[in-house]
Chain A
Amino acid sequence: MKKWTGLGAAAAVTALMGTAASAQTLVYCSEGSPEGFDPALYTSGTTFDASSRNVYNRLVEFERGTTTTVPGLAESWEVSEDGLEYTFNLRDDVQFQDTEFFTPTRNMNADDVIFSFMRQLDPEHPYHTVSGGTWEYFNGMSMPDLIESIEKVDDHTVKFTLTRPEAPMIANLAMDFASILSKEYADQMMEAGTPEMLNQRPVGTGPFEFVGYQKDAVIRYNQNEDYFRGAAPIENLIFAITPDASVRYQKLQAGECHVMPYPNPADLQAMELDENVNLLQQEGLNVGYLAYNTQVEPFDDPNVRKALNMAIDKQAIIDVVFQGAGTAAKNPLPPTIWGYNEQIKDDPYDPDQARQLLEEAGVEDLSMEIWAMPVQRPYNPNARRMAELLQEDFAKVGVDAEIVSYEWGEYLDRSKDVDREGAVLLGWTGDNGDPDNFLAVLLGCDAVGGSNRAQWCYEPFNDLIMEAKTVSDREQRIELYEEAQRIFKEQAPWATIAHSIVFEPIRPEVQDYKIDPFGGHQFYGVSLAE
């Protein structure tokens, strides 16, 4: 830790004072504490920010600020014609970080890649149960069913064999759980009888190396001078853990931090006027929706669903529930994802026509339930309020809605029932930036009784998204997904309500910071103006 104290302390002072300095220190006022530093063990963005996004790399990565995949530790890859074999050619010039607690003796190679996946896949692997590993994301993305085998072809070539063609596999491998850890470090820790250190003192190949963590207070990183893409302009990176959003803003104003996540919606107006703050914004990779149960009368009739969709005043919801920090959704995909169909026209807000459509469908005196989630989510900051607005909108077309709610765990569980009453408010935040992660997970036939809350299995739609899984050509997949979105709009299994807008206030001296569509915070490529 001595590395930091001398150089780092001086750097911190000068950087925080805002004076010219050669050493750059960036302070990020993070919203919470990481649960640990091994990204495969956890699912929260806070943990990923502190680990995978700054300390580790993956075979394939998302280009900064986009959902497009680019080569990472693998410089290239080939997919077999049947779509079952993925062969990755690894870079041979990548070093693991040389830290106070670990000195690598070799470069990153196929052994590290195999270690990083097999510990999650193989129940017999010595690291499988270390740190209470449940490998949530690995399992959540169905990797155990999908991966038949992972083989080392040679020191710099690894082959993944799948049980079925799965085009989103590449995007999956760019996710945080697929970060590559050092087998050499893991072996050393296992030998020393402290395997849990892998989760407490991370060693990766990424742009920043871990220096120290004071629980719930500060995390410190140094620049990795040997980073394979070139050293980061930021030399010292500090996460100052600041759970309260108002306090984060005060710290940003006082120059005690450079970047802060998750501002209070109430502070946004002041931030826009504040000359100490640049307020960046982008649509979030999420969608909030109202899912009808399409297997229960009268919601099995697309015209009824369509009519109710036309009764919803989305702009009022954006204004009241999102306080402006959202945009109305017309597709089940967020606009930041590739494959988003721009051409789709949203159903107009037209209560008169809605009433007429209901009459034509022979629906009279309809009463229904609207389920309101008990928690705040980015895609729905206040479900109760949203449900009340929907209730008023539906009342205007003669539909009597009752609002119900359950404890969150129970809500998620009960809303899966195929014969459930009513329409459910819920949403989704994308995992891997692939349209399949929205359309198949939320609307596919396989997901009925599970994450398909509309219980909607419509063959023409399902055929398209299943075909898109097997095609590796991006343009061809886009066409299939665009068509799928057209069918979705016509059939209206959901009322698509909103995508949140992510705001990211930064200090004016911060250069080249990009909002990550996945909600992460990456500091490689960012610098401070002198």
Chain B
Amino acid sequence: MLQFLFKRLLTFVPTFIGVTIISFAFIRLLPGDPILLLAGERGVAPERYAELAAQFGFDQPIWRQYLDYLGGIFQGDLGISFTTKRPVLDEFFTLFPATLELSLCAITLAVIIGIPAGVIAAVNRGKFFDQALMTTALTGYSMPIFWWALLLIIVFSSGLGWTPVSGRMSLMYFFDTPTGFMLIDSLLSGQEGAFRSAVAHLILPTVVLATIPLAVIARQTRSAMLEVLGEDYVRTARAKGLSPLRVNGLHALRNAMIPVVTVIGLSVGTLLAGAILTETIFSWPGIGKWMVDSIFRRDYQVVQGGLLLIATIVMAVNLLVDVLYGMINPKIRK
């Protein structure tokens, strides 16, 4: 197991270097000069342009800029945002807990509902529940997030008044956020009703963000289960007279979980991508919107730093999935 882990970690290194190159190159390949964009219609005189370029290091040869960036990474310095003039790392860690909290809630919801739904559909293959579930999953998968979110807001917030329209916390509460996770900070604040408000604010964005992964997980679980249910050992278990719950829940599900765990791991990337739209609509102060704004402004440091951090997180999660995988299926460790 240790050797397996070590091998996996080794592949991390070239991938990480690759990510630094891609994140560095990506934003620079987009046409658009940040200084000209900053100046807008007002324009900038050539002397002033040169001054600014020198100040931001844009006058250096490109390889030099890359080496500076790489050097910074190893010192834990991702540079200063061109727009807010604040360190990229500070900004990231201010905003990331919001994205993480939302993503964790969404993936939890997707797993809790998706897996049982997939199992039940597989067991009842071709029956009404199966068909209804798969149709719903397909709808969920194809739904434009933007439209879905607005629909939920119009019905549940404006219409029924059950949930707040947007944000993370009711404006009537005001407290420090040491962890950045509103569920935890609201409890720590000791203010009555704050936790309930945090939960209420999480409901709609969680549902919206969970929709696609839920659909994917349910479909994946169903097809993996169908495959496993046809195996000899399942038939043997049934023949031995084991209860259907034991056959399906223990013998079949455990083996069906391997592709499902992979899908869950891959969903992390999807969640972070889906978070961009969800965060914008629900005014959720996370990294999604921060990245999009920065791309439009050609804020090089934020885009390259943010991409690097997100990619590192996705890589770490996938590493974890690989390890889990090894635990579920010993064959893979070899």
Contact = CB atoms under 8 A, between A and B. Distances in A.
A362 interface: no
B91 interface: yes
Interface residues of B, number: 56
A86 interface: no
A13 interface: yes
Interface string A206-232: 000000101111101000000000000
A241 B280 CA distance: 10
A5 B175 contact: yes
Contacts of B91: 215
B171 A218 contact: yes
Interface in B57-98: 80, 82-86, 91, 94-95
A9 B43 contact: no
A16 B165 CA distance: 14
A37 B39 CA distance: 19
Contacts of B330: none
Interface in A1-41: 1, 4-5, 8-9, 12-13, 16, 27, 32, 35-36, 41
Nearest to A129: B55
B42 A240 contact: no
Nearest to A123: B51
B285 A241 contact: yes
Contacts of B174: 1, 4-5, 8-9, 212, 220
B48 to A, nearest CB: 6
Interface stretch (A70-78, A130-138, A457-465, A511-519): A130-138
Nearest to A2: B174
B158 A253 contact: yes
Interface in B111-158: 150, 153-154, 157-158
A254 B157 contact: yes
A427 B41 contact: yes
A402 interface: no
Interface in A319-378: none
Mostly, the A contact residues are mixed
Interface in A231-284: 238, 240-244, 246-247, 250-251, 253-254, 256
Given A254-B157, A407-B32, A428-B41, A238 B84 contact: no
A139 interface: yes
A161 interface: no
A215 B150 contact: no
B38 interface: yes
A214 B285 contact: yes
A407 B282 CA distance: 30
Contacts of A240: 167, 171, 283
Contacts of B158: 250, 253-254
Contact of A13 (B80, B157, B172): B172
Interface string B183-195: 0000000010000
Nearest to A14: B172
B36 interface: yes
Given A216-B95, A409-B33, A243 B165 contact: no
Q: What 9 pairs between A and B have smallest CB-CB spacing? A: A216-B285, A409-B36, A407-B31, A132-B85, A217-B285, A409-B33, A12-B172, A131-B85, A242-B283
Given A41-B85, A410-B36, A451-B41, 19 more contacts: A4-B174, A8-B174, A13-B172, A16-B172, A27-B171, A32-B293, A35-B83, A43-B42, A132-B82, A132-B85, A133-B85, A134-B55, A214-B177, A215-B95, A216-B285, A244-B281, A247-B153, A250-B166, A256-B171
